[in-house]
């Protein structure tokens, strides 16, 4: 493939520019109309919080990776260097995705010629679903470009006569990076072995040549292991467990193969999953369930094995249902409908006029409903006519297996779609060639098959299953909740309930927002309307207790919190609320025992630790207060209040040297807090470090020049004659 001609270089530049402009226009529209643009949710929120934690210096972490780490680490590095700006992050992702459009064009060119490359590259530049996913903080942003780069480089070596091994080592390294972004790429390794083997040149080779050629598949395997092994070593060092990349695989397999699995949404009998459930709580819950079912503490690898075992147990017990579900998921995989697991992709297009033009579902599900049937035709036509079709088809087939075993969503099938776009371009060009040659009989058969495939793959089967007219309004309610805009969140939940009266999650969230906006009578009414349908929901009962508490009816509130604790023994919130009531009544003994029960129910409940520590400090039990707050900071290293109070307690108890570390950590989490920096200056001063105390005060005054206390203390330090500090 030669890029010496200026028109070829110009085409690549225009392809990149077009893809980038499309993505930036969509981002601009989303920033104006999407309330969640600056408030990521679900998986995007998980990655964002993880990256922010890394940017604060927690690069090594404290436990085995639950998810593959490369995307969050890349995001964390970006935040460290360029700052925490979601606009800049998304622009960087748009640039990377624009390069992906170039890569798709180059793959099509290298595999089937320049014309295929041009069509495929342009199609990917305007591919609506990938433009949507570029606006989210998801692993596909990095995973797809890495996968495409590996395929393009492997194709180049596949078509080359060179016997060098080192390029295959590099290709394997890129595959390894893709694996620590999303591990299921490992299932496609045989497709790369195929290209590394160069079978077409070995039909008449001598034994020595065959042995020499085996070095290339070995090199690609070794290269793939190079990025993976440090992750494995890190898991062993930090988590004391031999997990190759992450331990999510077992849960994923069970989500795709259990009695209530539908192949399209995350469903499991043990956990009620909805977008309000944070991923850290999901992990905590599934880990706890595994340990409870095993009756002992489990390492992460054992937790993964537990869920894997449950999945295989279900498969063995229900082979007919399992095979039926696999065939159904295979159909869902190639159906034109875009199954969104973050949001409804079709409803999401309301935020962007351009995105609405790139994704639609009138007559067919555009664009995948048009491309999928053409891609199948392209695979059929090219299989026996091009030696590059074999490994590319193998990649699509192998990757499909990993999706069929889990969930057939738009995001999970996305990495194989670029190759399907390439095959679709092959089908279009071949069909056009037959029309030009006036082979009308063949054209009629070819067109008839294409039409039948198009009708079959655009059936509204998945659309009917996924039909949820209130989904986007519910997501908007969640976004407003995260932004603290409870009035607008309440309006969205009310809209959902008007559309779907039995949308329980919306009713539960609405009740809590009514409490937050002090509409207690309405909160009580909504909570009872929920509990009449689902009497054993602990969160709804807790909301009812909060509403009664807001009205001042403590007896009914305590009754609701007691029922909540009995309904869900792992929920710390009702005990925490009971402690607050006891404190208001002056019953500190009951408050202490209730805080302890909250911590026993949920060992990660930072607010309970913090309140208990403050209570101990108020009773001058400083050692107990310090122990509780230090435990809180170990479990919740980003919980600002615990660091502030830990330093404050140490300062108050006459241990200023010990107070410096937690106050410094708190200042790291909130560098703009004037009171916090003032307390740190006092800690340094009482420790005898007057120069550092002065430096902290001067830094405080540079951002808060009207801070009288800081100015007076600094004046005292610099002019000792005015009196002791």
Give pLDDT tens digits for 274-285: 555 666 667 877
Residue 720 has pLDDT above 80, yes or no: no
Q: Please give the residue that has the higher pLDDT: either 633 or 720.
A: 633
Give me the percent of the chain exceeding a pLDDT of 90. Answer: 43
Q: How many CB atoms lie within 10 A of CB 405?
A: 18
d(CA 439, CA 476): 54
Q: pLDDT value at position 199?
A: 46
Query: Which of 266-270, 433-437, 650-654 is least confident?
Result: 266-270
Q: Does residue 54 contact residue 72 with C-beta atoms inside 8 Å?
A: yes
Q: pLDDT value at position 418?
A: 97
Residue 411 has pLDDT above 50, yes or no: yes
Q: Which helix (DSSP H) or strand (DSSP E) does residue 366 occupy? A: strand 364-366
Q: Please give the residue that has the higher pLDDT: either 95 or 535.
A: 95
437 burial type by CB count under 10 A (0-12 exposed, 13-18 middle, 19+ buried): exposed
Q: Please give the residue that has the higher pLDDT: either 722 or 111.
A: 111
Can you give the C-alpha Rg of the chain in angstroms?
30
When pLDDT is averaged across residues 575-593 and rounded to a whole number, the result is 90
What average pLDDT does the structure give for the chain?
Answer: 87
Q: pLDDT value at position 202?
A: 46
Residue 439 has pLDDT above 80, yes or no: yes
Token pair listed for 162: 């060179």
Please write the tens of the pLDDT for every residue from 593-611. Answer: 999 999 988 888 888 999 9
Q: pLDDT value at position 170?
A: 93
Q: pLDDT value at position 200?
A: 42
When pLDDT is averaged across residues 534-561 and rounded to a whole number, the result is 89
513 burial type by CB count under 10 A (0-12 exposed, 13-18 middle, 19+ buried): buried
Please write the tens of the pLDDT for every residue from 617-659. Answer: 988 898 999 999 999 888 877 788 888 888 889 988 888 898 8
Handedness of CA 146, 149, 155, 161 (dihedral sign): negative
Q: At 80, is the pLDDT very low, low, confident or very high (cuts 50, 70, 90)?
A: very high
- Kindly give, in sequence order, each residue whose CB lies less than 8 Å from that of residue 479, ignoring residues fewer than 6 positions away: 35, 36, 39, 41
The pTM assigned to this predicted structure is 0.80
Backbone angles phi, psi at 365, to 5 degrees: -90, 95
Q: Does residue 136 contact residue 120 with C-beta atoms inside 8 Å?
A: no
Residue 438 has pLDDT above 50, yes or no: yes
Q: pLDDT value at position 719?
A: 72
Token pair listed for 104: 């798709």
Q: pLDDT value at position 204?
A: 45
Q: At 119, is the pLDDT very low, low, confident or very high (cuts 50, 70, 90)?
A: very high
Q: pLDDT value at position 67?
A: 92
Q: pLDDT value at position 4?
A: 56
Q: At 723, is the pLDDT very low, low, confident or very high (cuts 50, 70, 90)?
A: very low
Q: Is 365 helix (H, G, I), strand (E, B) or coil?
A: strand
Residue 545: which of 503, 517, 576 has the closest Cα?
Answer: 576
Q: Please give the residue that has the higher pLDDT: either 8 or 222.
A: 222
Q: At 538, is the pLDDT very low, low, confident or very high (cuts 50, 70, 90)?
A: confident
Top-confidence range, 72-76, 251-255, 408-412: 72-76
Q: pLDDT value at position 484?
A: 85
Q: Please give the residue that has the higher pLDDT: either 203 or 687.
A: 687
Q: How many CB atoms lie within 10 A of CB 587?
A: 14
d(CA 344, CA 339): 7
Q: pLDDT value at position 277?
A: 60
When pLDDT is averaged across residues 281-307 and rounded to a whole number, the result is 87
When pLDDT is averaged across residues 144-150 and rounded to a whole number, the result is 96
Top-confidence range, 61-65, 113-117, 569-573: 113-117
d(CA 252, CA 43): 14
Residue 398 has pLDDT above 90, yes or no: yes
d(CA 180, CA 244): 9
Q: pLDDT value at position 203?
A: 45
Q: pLDDT value at position 201?
A: 47
When pLDDT is averaged across residues 711-715 and rounded to a whole number, the result is 83
When pLDDT is averaged across residues 188-208 and rounded to a whole number, the result is 69
Residue 697 has pLDDT above 90, yes or no: no
Token pair listed for 89: 């992050």
Q: pLDDT value at position 222?
A: 94
Give the E-state strand segments of 504-556 in sequence order: none
Q: pLDDT value at position 667?
A: 84
- Kindly give, in sequence order, each residue whose CB lies less than 8 Å from that of residue 339, ignoring residues fewer than 6 positions away: 264, 332, 407, 408, 409, 410, 462, 466
d(CA 337, CA 365): 6
């Amino acid at each position: 493939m030669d890029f010496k001609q200026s028109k070829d270089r110009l085409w690549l530049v225009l392809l990149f520019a077009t893809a980038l402009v499309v993505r930036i226009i969509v981002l601009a529209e989303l920033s104006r109309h999407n309330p969640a643009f600056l408030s990521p949710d679900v998986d995007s929120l998980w990655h964002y919080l993880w990256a922010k934690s890394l940017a604060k210096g927690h690069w090594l972490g404290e436990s085995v990776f639950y998810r593959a780490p490369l995307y969050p680490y890349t995001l964390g590095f970006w935040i460290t260097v360029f700052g925490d700006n979601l606009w800049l992050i998304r622009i960087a992702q748009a640039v990377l995705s624009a390069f992906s459009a170039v890569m798709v064009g180059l793959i099509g060119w290298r595999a089937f010629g320049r014309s295929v490359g041009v069509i495929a590259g342009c199609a990917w530049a305007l591919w609506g679903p990938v433009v949507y996913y570029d606006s989210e903080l998801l692993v596909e942003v990095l995973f797809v470009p890495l996968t495409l780069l590996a395929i393009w480089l492997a194709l180049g070596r596949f078509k080359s006569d060179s016997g060098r091994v080192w390029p295959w080592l590099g290709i394997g390294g890129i595959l390894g990076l893709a694996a620590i972004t999303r591990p299921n790429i490992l299932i496609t390794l045989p497709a790369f072995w195929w290209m590394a083997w160069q079978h077409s040149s070995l039909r008449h080779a001598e034994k020595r040549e065959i042995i020499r050629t085996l070095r290339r598949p070995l090199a690609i395997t070794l290269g793939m292991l190079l990025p993976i092994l440090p992750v494995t070593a890190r898991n062993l060092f930090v988590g004391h467990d031999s997990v190759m990349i992450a331990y999510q695989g077992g849960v994923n397999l069970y989500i795709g193969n259990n009695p209530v699995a539908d192949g399209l949404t995350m469903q499991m009998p043990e956990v009620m999953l909805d977008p309000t459930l944070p991923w850290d709580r999901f992990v905590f819950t599934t880990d706890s369930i595994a340990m409870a079912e095993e009756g002992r503490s489990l390492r992460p690898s054992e937790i993964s094995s537990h869920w894997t075992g449950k999945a295989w147990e279900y498969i063995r017990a229900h082979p007919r249902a399992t095979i039926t579900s696999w065939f159904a998921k295979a159909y869902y995989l190639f159906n034109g409908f875009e199954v969104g697991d973050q949001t409804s992709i079709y409803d999401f297009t309301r935020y962007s006029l351009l995105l609405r033009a790139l994704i639609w579902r009138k007559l067919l599900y555009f664009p995948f409903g048009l491309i999928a049937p053409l891609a199948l035709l392209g695979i059929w036509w090219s299989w026996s006519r091009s030696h590059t079709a074999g490994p590319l088809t193998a990649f699509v087939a192998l990757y499909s297996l990993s999706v069929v075993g889990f969930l057939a969503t738009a995001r999970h099938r996305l990495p194989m779609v670029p190759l399907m776009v390439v095959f679709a371009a092959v089908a279009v060009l071949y069909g056009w060639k037959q029309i030009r040659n006036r082979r009308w009989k063949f054209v009629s058969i070819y067109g008839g098959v294409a039409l039948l495939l198009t009708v079959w793959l655009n059936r509204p089967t998945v659309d009917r299953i996924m039909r949820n007219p209130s989904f986007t309004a519910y997501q908007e309610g969640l976004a407003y909740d995260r932004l603290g805009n409870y009035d607008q969140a309440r309006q969205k939940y009310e809209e959902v309930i008007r559309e779907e009266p039995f949308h329980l999650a919306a009713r539960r969230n609405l009740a809590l927002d009514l409490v937050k906006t002090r509409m207690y009578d309405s909160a009580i009414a909504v909570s009872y309307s929920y509990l009449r349908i689902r009497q054993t929901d602990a969160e709804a009962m807790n909301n009812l207790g909060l509403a009664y508490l807001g009205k001042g009816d403590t007896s009914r509130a305590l009754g609701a919190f007691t029922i909540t604790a009995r309904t869900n023994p792992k929920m710390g919130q009702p005990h925490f609320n009971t402690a607050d009531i006891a404190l208001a009544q002056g019953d500190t003994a009951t408050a202490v025992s209730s805080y302890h029960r909250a911590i026993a129910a949920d060992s990660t409940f930072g607010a309970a630790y913090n309140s208990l520590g403050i209570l101990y400090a108020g009773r001058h039990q400083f050692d107990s207060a310090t122990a509780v707050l230090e435990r809180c900071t170990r479990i919740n290293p980003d919980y600002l209040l615990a660091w502030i109070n830990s330093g404050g307690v140490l300062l108050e108890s006459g241990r200023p040297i010990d107070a410096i570390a937690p106050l410094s950590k708190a200042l790291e989490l909130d560098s703009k807090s004037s009171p916090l920096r003032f307390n740190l200056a006092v800690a340094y001063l009482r420790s005898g470090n007057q120069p550092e105390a002065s430096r902290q005060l001067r830094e405080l005054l540079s951002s808060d020049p009207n801070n009288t206390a800081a100015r007076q203390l600094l004046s005292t330090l610099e002019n000792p004659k005015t009196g002791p500090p």
